[in-house]
Chain A
Amino acid sequence: MSPTDDRVGVPNDRIPHDRVRDDYTCDLAVVGGGPAGVAGALTAALRGLSVVLVDSGARLGGQYFRHPPGAARGGTPGLDRFLRQARALGERAEVLLGHQVWTVTRDGDRLTVHCRTPDGRTVAIRCRDLLIATGAHDRPLPFPGWDLPGVLTAGGAQALLKGNGVVAGGRVVVAGTGPFLLPVATGLAGAGAEVLGVFEANGGLGLARHPVLAAGKAGEAAGYGLAMARHRVPYRTHQAVIAAHGERELEAVTVARLDADWNVLATRELACDTLAVGYGFVPQIELGVELGCETRQDADGMPVLAVDDRQRTTARGVWAAGEPVGVGGRYLAELEGRIAGLAVAGVPVPGVLARRRRRLRAFGEALHHAYPVKPGWQGWLRDDTLVCRCEEVPVARVRAALELGATDARSVKLLARPGMGWCQGRICGYAVACLAGESPRPPRRPIAQPISLGALAELDLDFDTP
């Protein structure tokens, strides 16, 4: 969707907004203001639907297009185009920033999206259709020292960089697996950090056929390639950071050469003050799961929402686009958002979009196969390595729970508490499932985001039944 095809300008006042109660009624509510959500909302708004988009962030952008206030153009390829879309959306739809969605309720054909604002107000959006475009979060693996200050997730490092332009640190190591380590490394290098290396645990496709380089537009690809070369960032495959060291904060990491299963072959130490690690992504699907949407297992083992070729889930009126239906990068996310927007508006999806989507999905799956997580990482753990940081559960307690008769992640949680804390298992869930010997299951989080008891007590459900 480009902002030039704004044929139907839908004035904002089409959306009835009850100022007193801060509630909205619209045709389509979109949760998530990344490429998928913005494309979906704008497409539907341009077709004449009344649309409300909510995002918990302070600005539109999502993970990839996160940007500091006022940043017009900058290092992020595609940002200009995204910002144009975001502006167009602002003129045609209600955009609610800083709103966290904590649950969605259903009453017959009506869905109600319940949000809370940072100042503790609750806001309800009643809609006929809902687009889940909630993206994904990092999928970290635990290793000794990963809880030291100075150790960040790849997404976290990127967010630091993009959100407020802070250079994450002086001497930086980037490690993990997957194509998106590369933009993190070049971003950090471009912002003035000394990137000591990118350690890719898999062989992947190698730098020459690197997916981000291959999939990107010519200029973008050249940008990453040049940046890697210009900043002399070494790119090492079959290597990983298996431990982080430091008294109070990160001082050094152990880098290991790995065999194909990620067992350690040899190690060396590398002094650094920042480590960005990422082992893929966890699609955020809990809103869909609570609404009864069926899930499927993606090629990377993660549960995702099952959708048809128009992005429709199995729950009535619920659509999904972008990472919640499978991680595949920003192009795919935007395309799927567009398809969903058309489909919700009842417009046939042009064949060319459908074909592109199939191609990009296939590409995303190929990436999952090229950058899997191999079981050898469990050998990097020590008994006292924390698995769950919220509840401070070490590996030994997880293993004890398995000996006591836990057979899956849920029962490990019941016996040893990993995943019971603040993040609700978003960080440790994948690792606990692996340790329990099962594939991650769809998350059950009836309360998707924390909400105060006072706000919950005042939940206005009569709004559900007009």
Chain B
Amino acid sequence: MSDVIVIGAGVVGAACAYYAARAGLDVTVVDRGPVAGGTTGAGEGNVLVSDKGPGPELDLALLSNRLWGELAALGEFEYEPKGGLVVAETDEVQRQLVELAGKQGVEYTVVPAAGLRDYEPHLAEGLAGGVHYPQDAQVQPMLAAARLLGHGAESYGHGTLHLRTGVTVTGFTRSGDRVTGVRTDQGDILGGAVVNAAGTWGGEIAGLAGVALPVLPRRGFILVTEPLREPLIRHKVYTAAYVTNVASDSADLETSAVVEGTPAGTVLIGASRERVGFDRTTSPRVLARLAAQAVALFPALREVRVIRSYCGFRPYCPDHLPVIGPDPHAPGLYHACGHEGAGIGLAPATGLLLSQLLTGARPELDLHPFRPDRFANSSGSPTATRGETETSAGSSRASEESA
């Protein structure tokens, strides 16, 4: 029997497992698929502080940003602290960007229009300026998740961390109210605590325990270009519209230019967000819009060829904040899901804080804003999580990814 069972071997589950093992707990990670086969394998890998307004998510992001830097020292996955550049199309937007940067309490430099090309020589003409955020970084999320699990298994004594792929959780074992383990298609697995790190499927898992958690999919497409011989783009570059889209509550398609190079030489182009359930059908209209926005930002990309595209489903909650903490309706069950477009960035902080909870230590950040029972209609009816129910959202801006 393990101290902790983690459901989900995405980047969030991997971080939860790693920090729990580091804290001395025995952990079993189960996933119905492979490591990183969920949204972690369909995202980019930005670790951003630039796109978040002051508030609990930015605090989480700052902690995570520092932790990713430490984890990178473990090695064997790409981590590039390359910085982000947010650009403004108009003077008014530039003024807002600068104002926001002043409130965030993160490192930044205001870049006047004339200075933009010092940062990104291939940017289009006519932009009004931008803000440079040196703390923004990028990781290769799939490898990072796999390596965190690997390090967790190797570093803290033999047998501390077990990974079981191809195991589907179908329910929970209970003792009275208390969750004592998971039922799976391969038998029951008992544990002292169960962590729901099932990402976009976190609502379904909660439903199996009879609790409602409104985690829903928000689809995003990414375009990937042929590898370029010379890096054309140095930072993560995105337009200010991205920040408002991220925080938007609209179900309709929203796109904004988010462009960056990768160590493999390819350029990744996002970002779209739409609420269409789990529909994987490729939308050429969205792809065309992403391409148009990228070319508008970097005209040199016009001749560069796209070789593939993929899509994924960000796990979002109505208030755009993740769910982190114990479930009051199902003692023994903890949630760590719903990170929307920032799960890669926020994974280490989520894992660390959860391990502190699990070991009875005081979490170094206040988890109150992330508590599972904060949703008005979540008092027990699991049906509330099904379908595209829109709950009125409380928060102003959210964190999201970058891609």
- Show the binding face of A for B, using Cβ within 8 Å: 103, 105, 114, 120, 290, 292, 391, 401, 404-408, 410-411, 414-415, 417, 420-422, 424, 445-447, 450-454, 456-459, 461
Contacts and interface: CB of A to CB of B under 8 A. Distances in A.
Contacts of B142: 411, 414-415
Interface in B296-336: 301-310
A314 to B, nearest CB: 15
B284 A421 contact: no
B235 interface: no
A415 B143 contact: yes
B36 A452 contact: no
A407 B149 contact: no
15 contacts: A405-B9, A405-B35, A410-B41, A415-B35, A415-B146, A445-B308, A446-B309, A451-B306, A452-B302, A452-B306, A453-B291, A453-B302, A457-B294, A458-B292, A459-B287
A422 B303 CA distance: 16
Nearest to B302: A454
A201 B219 CA distance: 47
A120 B304 CA distance: 11
Given A415-B142, A459-B288, A450 B165 contact: no
B150 interface: yes
Contacts of A420: 224, 264, 308
Nearest to A291: B281
Nearest to A416: B143
A201 B163 CA distance: 39
B167 to A, nearest CB: 11
B308 A447 contact: yes
B34 A456 contact: no
Interface string B140-164: 0011001101100000000000010
Nearest to A120: B303
Given A453-B294, A456-B291, A461-B285, A414 B36 contact: yes
A105 B284 contact: yes
A411 B35 contact: yes
A461 B289 CA distance: 11
Given A406-B35, A411-B37, A450 B291 contact: no
Given A406-B34, A415-B146, A459-B288, A453 B305 contact: yes
B282 interface: yes
Contacts of A421: 227, 307
Contacts of A424: 307-308
Contacts of A461: 284-285, 288
Grouping DSSP codes into helix (H, G, I), strand (E, B) and loop, the A interface class, with mixed when no group exceeds half, is: loop
B146 A453 contact: no
Given A453-B295, A459-B288, A461-B285, A415 B304 contact: no
B66 to A, nearest CB: 25
Contacts of A458: 288, 292
B37 A290 contact: no
Nearest to B227: A421
Contact of B146 (A292, A404, A456, A457): A404
Grouping DSSP codes into helix (H, G, I), strand (E, B) and loop, the B interface class, with mixed when no group exceeds half, is: mixed
A331 B226 CA distance: 38
Contacts of B41: 410-411, 414
Pick from B34, B285, B302 the residue with the most CB of A within 10 Å: B34
A103 B305 contact: no
Given A103-B282, A457-B292, 14 more contacts: A114-B284, A290-B282, A406-B34, A406-B35, A415-B35, A421-B227, A445-B308, A447-B307, A450-B305, A452-B303, A453-B291, A453-B301, A454-B301, A459-B288
Interface string B262-275: 00100001000000
A56 to B, nearest CB: 15
The 8 A-B pairs at the shortest CB distance, nearest first, are namely: A405-B35, A411-B34, A454-B302, A446-B282, A457-B292, A456-B291, A459-B288, A404-B146
B369 interface: no
Contacts of B264: 391, 417, 420
Contacts of B147: 404
Chain B: number of interface residues, binned into ranges: 35 or more
Contact of A456 (B35, B165, B287): B287
Contact of A453 (B149, B163, B165, B304): B304
A446 B309 CA distance: 6
A336 B147 CA distance: 50
B112 interface: no
A461 B305 CA distance: 19
Contacts of A457: 288, 291-292, 294-295, 302
B305 A452 contact: yes
Nearest to A425: B308
A120 B303 CA distance: 9
B258 to A, nearest CB: 14
Contacts of A406: 34-35, 146
Contacts of A451: 305-306
Nearest to A411: B34
Contacts of A445: 308
A150 B281 CA distance: 41
B307 A456 contact: no
A420 B304 CA distance: 17
A405 B34 contact: yes
A291 to B, nearest CB: 9
Nearest to B14: A405
A326 B291 CA distance: 35
Contacts of A407: 33-34, 37, 165-166
Contacts of A410: 34, 37, 41
Contact of B165 (A105, A405, A446): A405
Contacts of A391: 264
B356 interface: no
A71 B150 CA distance: 60
A390 B201 CA distance: 34
Contact of A422 (B166, B226, B287, B309): B226
Nearest to B225: A453
Contacts of A454: 291, 295, 301-303
A405 B146 contact: yes
Contacts of B305: 450-453
Contacts of B149: 404-405
Nearest to A114: B284
Contacts of A415: 35-36, 142-143, 146
Contacts of A447: 287, 306-309
A279 B127 CA distance: 54
Contacts of B163: 405
Nearest to B304: A453
A103 B288 CA distance: 12
A450 B307 contact: yes
